[in-house]
Structure 1
Amino acid sequence: MTERFTLVPASYVYLLREGEGGTEVLLQLRQGTPYMDGHWAAAAAGHVERGETAYDAARREAVEELGITDVDLAFAFTMQRSQHADAIDERVDWFFTARSWTGEPRVVEPEKAAEVRWWPLDALPEPTVPHEAHALAHLFSGVGYLTFGWDATPA
């Protein structure tokens, strides 16, 4: 019998606004974490906890990481990803966008993020977390399901 893998769920929130050069996204610079330190990532993201929906997790992360509430979430797509290593490396991620919220986004957890900054979607900073760069490249594609981590990633 094949050993079943553990699926780790997470929610991501991309805050969007219109800037002088087009649509901008708010990203955080990760610091002090065991995952992707020094990389730019969604300003709010994290694991979905037991008993929580992906939407609830996205709203919770927006409060915990950015100090904002009343986030008007729009579902963008789901991504299945793998690193083909340990069983824990199988993931499913729900990506949301928001163009309105209450409060001014700021770094609430300085032990995990050095700063937040707006970036044009067509000029993302380097380095960006690889699967998130893939997600942001497909943000307005209308594709509901993305994969990442297989040799032939279809979308």
Structure 2
Amino acid sequence: MSPAGFVVVPASYVYLLRDGVGGPEVLLQLRQNTGYMDGRWAAAAAGHVERGETAFDAARREALEELGVDELDLRFEFTMQRTRGDLPIDERVDFFFTCRTWRGDPRILEPEKCAELRWSPLDALPDPVVPHEASALASLGKGEAYLTFGFD
């Protein structure tokens, strides 16, 4: 494969966390009209890292654009390298962050892309969850710095 045909797409994910009655809860969104994994639950805030932007800055921007929250106390959790077969355009590097404190009340700011926001126990996620995010959520708190998904 020629170097010109290889593209890596970086993205940042923010999992807002809170203490629930039965343990930690995560804020998830139900995706709609995005063309990717619609009808599945995913991070309440996530998106591509833009040119000249750090993964941390992208996480902060996405949380503000999608949820209306800022002043996030972000904690970097891990990086995930993922692929889907041999499709070179679908090579991804994802940066996952958690956050327990922020300013503002999370709300849907992109209703065309988000059908619902829901706090869910980490040990009882709604079904279905975007597959690579289900793997990421299962890895929270395990101290792993690097994950892979889709490599067989």
TM-score, normalised relative to structure 1: 0.95
Deviations 1:24-72 (A, max 9, x none): 0000000111000000000000000000000000000000100001011
- Provide the residue aligned with 1:101 in structure 2: 102
**Alpha-carbon separation, structure 2, partners of 1:3 and 1:84:** 17
User: Which ranges of structure 1 fall in alignment gaps of 5 or more residues?
Assistant: none
Aligned Cα root-mean-square deviation (Å): 0.7
- Provide the residue aligned with 1:3 in structure 2: 2
| Cα shift at 1:3 | 2.1
- Provide the residue aligned with 1:24 in structure 2: 25
Deviations 1:63-91 (A, max 9, x none): 01000010110000000000024211100
**Alpha-carbon separation, structure 2, partners of 1:69 and 1:85:** 38
Deviations 1:83-113 (A, max 9, x none): 0242111000000000000000011000000
**Alpha-carbon separation, structure 2, partners of 1:36 and 1:3:** 29
| Cα shift at 1:150 | 1.1
User: Which ranges of structure 2 fall in alignment gaps of 5 or more residues?
Assistant: none
**Alpha-carbon separation, structure 2, partners of 1:85 and 1:25:** 32
**Alpha-carbon separation, structure 1, partners of 2:124 and 2:137:** 11
Range that drifts further, 84-93 or 105-114: 84-93
- Provide the residue aligned with 1:73 in structure 2: 74
| Cα shift at 1:149 | 0.2
**Alpha-carbon separation, structure 2, partners of 1:18 and 1:25:** 9
Aligned ranges 1:110-149 → 2 under 5 Å: 110-149=111-150
Confirm or deny: 8 A CA contact 1:29 1:41 kept in the other structure.
Answer: yes
Identity rate of aligned residues, in percent? 71
**Alpha-carbon separation, structure 2, partners of 1:85 and 1:49:** 24
Confirm or deny: 8 A CA contact 1:84 1:90 kept in the other structure.
Answer: no
Query: Which secondary structure state, in structure 1, belongs to the residue aligned with residue 15 of structure 2?
Result: strand
**Alpha-carbon separation, structure 1, partners of 2:123 and 2:7:** 35
Confirm or deny: 8 A CA contact 1:13 1:45 kept in the other structure.
Answer: yes
- Provide the residue aligned with 1:86 in structure 2: 87
TM-score, normalised relative to structure 2: 0.97
